[in-house]
Amino acid sequence: MREVGVVIPAWNEEHDIQRVLDTVGPVEWLAKVVVVDDGSSDNTLGVSQDCARKYSRMVVEHLPDNQGKGAAMLVGMRALPNEVETVIFLDADLIGLTEGHLTRLYTPVKDLQCEMSVAIFKDGYWRTDWSQRFAPNLNGQRCLPREAAKQALGPLAESGYGVEIGLTLYARRNKWRIQYVSWQGMTHDMKEKKLGWREGYRVRGMMYQQILVTWFREWWQARRAEWTSLRESGT
């Protein structure tokens, strides 16, 4: 099996992250698990460090200030050892995660069936199931070769929550094959439940804003590239 690493960006996930880390920590075929605390104001860092002491292949990177999800993912990927060839990105608030889910996500990339696999939650909680069907390209659970991730994430470091749609648009622009993998029984807490209605809505609004900004920027770059190509070809 190729060397596989996991990157988990985390921001204010003290109540959920241990559940995820206690699932990925014992998985023997993972070469390294990197948790990136993205300037959390709660005890996410402390919980992550406690887990890292239990699992020899787990390390924690700490960003003193919140830099956004895209930047945290890039920091985590760069912290992986050189021998890691494939990267799995996971959110820190997953509910129902098992080793089997990780295997299902990794297998299509390992078998060269695609350049990127994306998980789709199913039969976990109706609201997340619905949102996954409506917008599967916003899912943060992805697997791709490290070199491909490096190329894609560099321009997306400042995209925040727009990093997932940015990855998908980058993949399509470069004609990557994308495979969507069903994750049965998987969900995560809604932001309004974790943060309270007022703060949850504020964070959700910020998330959608960053997604739209990233989508528009990637769309505009693609159109400019097409126009430049047409001018150079004289058509």
Per-residue pLDDT of 22-73, as tens digits, reads 999 999 999 999 999 999 999 999 999 999 999 999 999 999 999 989 899 9
Domain around 31: 4-233
The CATH number covering residue 178 comes to: 3.90.550.10
List pLDDT tens digits, range 3-25: 999 999 999 999 999 999 999 99
pLDDT band at residue 121, thresholds of 50, 70 and 90?
Answer: confident
Element (H, E) at 96: none
Q: How far is 185 from 121, CA to CA, in rounded Å?
A: 7
Q: How far is 82 from 227, CA to CA, in rounded Å?
A: 38
Count CB neighbours of 220 within 10 A: 10
In this prediction the pTM is 0.80
Q: How far is 16 from 32, CA to CA, in rounded Å?
A: 20
* Residue 60, helix vs strand vs coil: strand
Identify residue 56 by its one-letter amino acid code. S
Q: How far is 226 from 11, CA to CA, in rounded Å?
A: 37
* DSSP letter assigned to residue 154: G
Q: How far is 47 from 198, CA to CA, in rounded Å?
A: 26
pLDDT (0 to 100) of residue 163: 82
* ∠ CA 196-200-202, rounded to 5°: 130
Single out the residue of 215, 5, 218 nearest to residue 109, CA to CA: 5
Q: What percent of the chain has pLDDT over 90?
A: 56
Q: How many helices and strands, by DSSP H and E, does the chain display? A: 9, 9
Sign of the Cα pseudo-torsion (228, 233, 234, 235, in order): negative
User: How many domains are contained in the chain?
Assistant: 1
Name every residue whose Cβ is closer than 8 Å to that of residue 55 and which is 6 or more positions away in sequence.
21, 25, 26, 33
Radius of gyration of the chain (CA): 18
Most confident option among 147-156, 174-183, 221-230: 174-183
